[in-house]
Amino acid sequence: MREPADTKVLPSTPVEKLRLYAVFALFSLGFLYVVGGLAYRQLIQSNDLKEQSDNQSRRIVLRPPARGRIYDRNGFVLVDNRARWSVKADLAALQKEIRVEYLRLLAAERARQAVQVDTERVMELARVNVLQGWLNKVWFVIDEDQRKSARKPAPGKATPLDPPGERKVNIEELRKHLRERRALPFTLVADLAFPAANLPAGPDEGVKAVARFIEQFPVEGPIRLESDIIRTYPHGGMAAHVLGYVKDSDELPPNVEDIAEVRSETLQKLRQTGKTGAAGVELSFNHVLKGLSGWELWTKTSSGYNQTRLKYSEPVQGSNIALSLDLRIQRTTERALAEIKDTQGVPLPAAAVMLDVHTGEILALASQPTFDPNRLAGRITAADYDEVEKSGAWLNRATQGLYPPGSTFKIITAMAGMRRKVVDWDDILECGAFYRVGDRDFPEHEPVGYGDVDLDKMLAISCNVWNYQVGLRAGPDALAAEARRFGLDAPLLESSASPDADGPTITELPYPASRGLVVPDRDYKLRIKAGPWQDGDTANFSIGQGYLLTSPLHMAAFAASLARGETRTVPTIIHDPSRDGRHRGSTPIGLNKAQLDAIRGGMVRCVEEGTGRSARIPGLPIAAKTGTSEYFKNREKAHLAWMIGYAPADRPVVAFCVLVEGQLDTNTWGGKTAGPVVKQMLETWAGTGEQPAAEPAR
């Protein structure tokens, strides 16, 4: 068929031409748009797109670092890290096995003529079955006792019917793992050396379990042995309140932004659970101990599993810390405290502190009851938490405990009296069986009284009536001012770089008792709406009772200040051999030599022949003051036993404070109860041979 001769191929009329040009223009514009878009993508956006593409197929895995170790002042390890061997299943390598199991289960479901098969549930069951099979193999190798007593299962039944909890795959954990950390291996046994509550039987059993797995389990395959570092407290509950403990942390480490590959918002970041300080030095010096995280850059498969490691950086361990504690004195202190028990044989709540008089470094700081940080270093179980809570062990009684200091305060009353010149060191006061204040008789603890008492004798026998008289003469304002001069209501354990510095301070132990400290005065009583101040309040105040509340650490610091003839001691938990012995805010004590000698002489007499005889150590002169204060426990009156002081009396090196919380039915008295603890602490200190450079007492 031929075309007619007059068929028009090209437009001939202007309208047609215009229409054609318009179409050309549109096409050209479209083409330009495409070319321009391509050029824009290729030339301008190429870097961004490449990064986006790379990020979609890559991920960063962050590795937590090992924390720094904590030593005592002599280099003994107090907190360490140990290798934790864990058994992990590589889910990517198990995919084929899981698929086979899934198909088997699916066939079984269909054979049961199930109307609607929940494939998600079947897949989960397949995963659990496969992992359980491998977990059984792990236990088969590591648990020698179980294997010896195990019965041969029936053919085809490799899985025990009802394995104990730790031998079962935790479905909840598996779900969480697949949701949050799909790319990482799934943990079958978290700690091979301590795989279950009933294992190991002894320290060697854990090592044997590790060794059995290493030598007997196939090296190749989907089950891996991984080692990481966990926190360990080799001395158990010793110094637990100082050391604290660590807890799991999913937070990104602070140095994460320094890693170039992590800056991108779109890059997936996976992190293994790290540790962060939860209490004690672990918390307050977390920034020093924690170290720097490592990272690994991986490509990932379409299923989300890690494929190839492209780059990596090892984690860097945190810095070590040397505490001022002396392991030997600390151990002795805790053992001595543990020997003080109630009528049921349960150790009484107590606290003890020993300081270096000149530097303020804490040589021992114990609080009873205590807890084992090893049991808390991870996820705290409800049972462990309840046990610590019930025993009252969370409270660090040495720094957080608030108590009336009782007769140990009489030293301050005496100083207030002498500085206000209402009494002097050689004045003799008549002290009967009681002292009448207003319409109330304030008793002496000796039923017939002590007769003529001077300062020296008062400190030796802890006479109440002497203090009632001096306290009332000096007045409550003088008592409060004197207590504040020695920092009884000032925050402690807040150190700065230099004693002269006014810069930021570090709280060395978290949650100190500074908010609850009370040095009462007229304003305070009005503030708490307890009415106007009475003379009876002053009498109570003068013997360390009433509203006065302070902590054992404050009283130990006061004893150290007294030993040096100054007003303030800044205790510290950090060991620094270069400390110069200067204490921020400290001033001379403001007594003449005779007055100071009289106080010191009285304190020596207290140990030699007075209420502190139970602390006496032949050949070691000790200056001390005992106290038995009253407090209310469960709304009933009980006693607190105190003893503060320093040694050697003629050349002070260490100061101490011991406090024991008596129970309603215990016979708790200052010297009698606290004295033996002081004695053991000082014997150990003297036996250590560690004699820091000391100046004679002024």
Partner 1 sequence: MDQNRQGARASYVALAVFVAAWILLPSAVRRFNREAFVEFQAPALHLAGKSRDLATFWEKKSRSTEELVAAGRDLARINAALELKLKGLEDIRRENQRLREVTRYNVPAEYLSVVARVATRDSSSWWQRIVIRKGRNDGIRPGAPVVFGDTVVGRVTAVHLTTSEVDLVTSPGFRCTAYLEGDDQSRIVLVNGVAAHSLGTAKARVSVIPYDYLLPAGTPARVTTTGMGGVFPSGLTLGYLDGGAYATQVGNFKESLLVPSRDLYNLQEVSVLVPLIQTPGEALMQGEQFQ
**Which positions touch partner 1 (CB under 8 A)?**
65-66, 80-83, 136-137, 140-141, 144, 147, 150-153, 155, 158, 160, 204, 207-208, 210-212, 214-220, 227, 229, 291, 294, 314-318
Of 249 and 391, CB closest to partner 1: 249
Q: How distant, in Å, are the alpha carbons of 73, 173, 288, 324, 579 from that of 575?
A: 6, 43, 15, 4, 9
Helix (H, G, I), strand (E, B) or coil at 644: strand
- The Cα–Cα gap between 358 and 569 comes to 8
Of 144 and 650, CB closest to partner 1: 144
Shortest distance in whole angstroms from residue 325 CB to partner 1: 20
Of 140 and 631, CB closest to partner 1: 140
3-state SS, 395-425, equals CCCCCCCCECCHHHHHHHHHHHHHHCCCCCC
Shortest distance in whole angstroms from residue 299 CB to partner 1: 22
Residue 185: phi, psi to the nearest 5?
-65, 150
Shortest distance in whole angstroms from residue 134 CB to partner 1: 11
Helix axes 464-474, 535-542, angle to 10 degrees: 130
Q: How distant, in Å, are the alpha carbons of 17, 290, 442, 541 from that of 438?
A: 123, 61, 10, 15
Q: Which of 640, 648, 641, 565 is nearest to 604 (CA)?
A: 648
- The Cα–Cα gap between 358 and 579 comes to 9
Of 152 and 379, CB closest to partner 1: 152
Shortest distance in whole angstroms from residue 94 CB to partner 1: 16
Shortest distance in whole angstroms from residue 191 CB to partner 1: 15
Of 207 and 620, CB closest to partner 1: 207
Q: Residue 682 has which token pair?
A: 């000082």
Instruction: Please say whether the beta carbons of 461 and 611 come within 8 A.
Output: yes
Shortest distance in whole angstroms from residue 210 CB to partner 1: 7
Instruction: Please say whether the beta carbons of 86 and 228 come within 8 A.
Output: yes
- The Cα–Cα gap between 417 and 473 comes to 7
Shortest distance in whole angstroms from residue 119 CB to partner 1: 27
Of 216 and 343, CB closest to partner 1: 216
Of 291 and 404, CB closest to partner 1: 291
Shortest distance in whole angstroms from residue 70 CB to partner 1: 13
Q: Which of 139, 133, 140, 124 is nearest to 158 (CA)?
A: 133
Neighbouring-strand partners of residue 89: 186, 223
Shortest distance in whole angstroms from residue 389 CB to partner 1: 32
Of 141 and 623, CB closest to partner 1: 141
- The Cα–Cα gap between 575 and 359 comes to 9
Of 80 and 535, CB closest to partner 1: 80
Q: Which of 581, 599, 582 is nearest to 591 (CA)?
A: 599
